[in-house]
A and B are shown apart, each in its own frame.
Chain A
Amino acid sequence: MTITASPAEPAAIVARLDHPAARVLTRRHRWRWWEALPWAAAIGCYFAFPDYLGFGAELLIAILFALSLDLALGYAGIITLGHAAFFGAGAYAVGMLAFYGIWTEPITSLLLAAMAAAVVGLLSGLVLLRTRGLTLLMLTICTMALLQESANMAHDYTGGFDGLPSLPIAPVFGVFEFNPLYANTQYVYALAVLAVCFLFVRTLVYSPFGQSLTGIRENLLRMHAIGSPVRSRLVICYTISAAIAGIAGGLWAQTNAYVNLSAFDLDRAAGVLIILILGGYGRLYGAFVGAIVYLALEHFLARIYPTAWQLGLGLLLVLIALFARNGILGLGEALWRRYGATLSGRYRAGRAAS
């Protein structure tokens, strides 16, 4: 037995790539039919619920924010409770540029928000990502708190505790105005931004780079031992994740036409983490499912039980932690593995019989 490469014959190469394990890898990035569902639903909601488009835009922004966290936490395994640092950086970049009349064009503003957040992500990441676990968790919270307090102290520029109200955001493409009463522009705009960012993140997680992030999450020491520049990979991932969180923050500032210190809140950082845990992390679509469940609970349960809705959320989290570690999507996958095969088997058997 030798392990040196022999001049490979084409038939053997084809056979190897046709092995079930290889097929999983060569086809994983292909689009599945069900991946159209969330987008079809989002477009459908635009027509079905015209009165809820403001809520819808909020939901889309929450999805985008959770998606950015999924890249860092779900794929690279960076444990963070301070992701609102980047959301806030993006929100304040958009807010201050608009409030002082420096830059109000929405799409380029979002790019600037992404850059501002990326700078914060890069600088903090270079320091933070030398640590792991609980230390890292605490430092991410510290970074966020520092930014929030800086925004509070610099009230001459940031409006301090009151924030910056009535941001003059220019119409999208110079045509579509943001109207606070009828949020259809906000909704479509947020959906388009989400779609672009989603395509980017999806490409990234299925790329060799994304695969190496998964490797870092699964076994850091092994990645070092195969010669992977682990820290720079993590910093790059964290910076990209920060940029996307910044875009979410920028969108939030634009669609609400204000920014305030709540952009940097620990509540917000915890909320997005809960969204990801609810939906299932490391799965791309966990952000969608989690955000829908979380915001629906907040929106509707809070209306019925204004003081106690978080009790319901807490119960749900306990259930998830006990019975569905991989979130709602993970639960779905497990059920599908268990029963889906027999269902589709029966379906095929039924068709064969008829």
Chain B
Amino acid sequence: MTEPRLETRALGRSFGALKAVQNIDFKLEAGARHALIGPNGAGKTTFINLLTGVLPPTTGSVLLAGRDITATAQAERVKLGIARTFQINRLFRGLSVLENVCIAVAERVGAAPAMFYPAGRRADVIEESMRLLETLKLADVARRRVSELPYGRQRLVELAITIGLKPAVLLLDEPAAGVPSAESHIILDAIEGLPKDIAVLIIEHDMDVVFRFAKRVTVMVGGAVFAEGAPKEIEANPQVRAVYLGQAGHGAGRQADHA
């Protein structure tokens, strides 16, 4: 059996007395489509921050393809293949859409440290970035400043930058957050079009998205894993419904609760 792409063992993080994340054993296989759900403050984003190296854990370890990366710096983890999007856009707002992606691609292919030739001569970087924008249907706005785009398309740029890093593991922190529901399908289409081989972990509040996208779901509550399983099992789990789905609601099958 091959190693999981990403694995955590007894991973935990405390802020003073607050255990934001505790004792998480988690596996993400190649090609996984895994959703992470849980009420606000459950520690989902902290968990992502531990995976990407933004925060050091207080306990446990993170393994990438069997290799311990617990002490590896954030930038180094990106080079090893972990990329993420943010809950709130983090874009180069004053630059064009194309340049946003070019900066990421240049960093990935190792062009970025070069000082003595113009960036414009890296046709490979520009061409690849442009191709990526075409597949995400952003080519028509490639020249526009990111700050001029509607929010939904800015979210796509956020995704484009991350895909430009060609990650092995992709962590999506509420990719459709703040996007009007009329536009959210463009994000979902883009996520469904991701290469099959990438292991994707998505934090999402919108249950329609979760159940459409995910093959597996983990529920976090109070910093710990509360339940894990196939979407159907999670949906049918009465405890999960009580703490989470009960409030958010997911249409079908809810009537049974009254029994």
Contacts and interface: CB of A to CB of B under 8 A. Distances in A.
Interface stretch (B5-13, B61-69, B71-79): B71-79
A129 to B, nearest CB: 15
B126 A208 contact: no
A351 interface: no
B206 interface: no
Interface in B86-136: 86, 90-99, 102-104, 106-108, 111-123, 125-128, 130-132, 134-136
Contacts of A214: 92, 95, 103
B143 A26 contact: no
30 contacts: A3-B163, A8-B127, A8-B131, A17-B130, A19-B142, A19-B143, A20-B143, A22-B127, A22-B142, A24-B143, A25-B99, A27-B120, A208-B106, A208-B114, A208-B119, A208-B122, A208-B125, A210-B115, A211-B99, A218-B91, A218-B92, A218-B93, A222-B91, A222-B92, A224-B54, A226-B107, A226-B165, A227-B76, A227-B77, A227-B165
Contacts of A206: 118-120
A207 B131 contact: no
Contact of A225 (B90, B163, B195): B90
Interface in B178-208: 189-190, 192-195
Contacts of B163: 3
B22 interface: no
Interface residues of B, number: 62
A208 B143 CA distance: 19
B113 A225 contact: no
Interface of A: 1-5, 8, 13, 16-17, 19-22, 24-29, 203-204, 206-212, 214-215, 218-219, 221-230, 233
Nearest to A29: B118
B113 A21 contact: no
Contacts of B103: 211-212, 214-215, 223, 226
Interface of A is mostly: helix
A227 B193 CA distance: 24
Contacts of B216: none
B113 A208 contact: yes
B130 A230 contact: no
* Interface pairs A-B: 3 shortest CB-CB: A227-B78, A21-B142, A29-B118
B209 interface: no
B113 to A, nearest CB: 6
Contacts of A227: 74-79, 107-108, 165
A22 B122 CA distance: 11
Contacts of A17: 123, 126-127, 130
A225 B86 CA distance: 9
A29 to B, nearest CB: 4
Given A16-B131, A208-B122, A219-B92, A22 B79 contact: no
Contacts of A29: 118-121
B154 interface: no
Interface string B208-242: 00000000000000000000000000000000000
A212 B111 CA distance: 10
B177 interface: no
A23 to B, nearest CB: 9
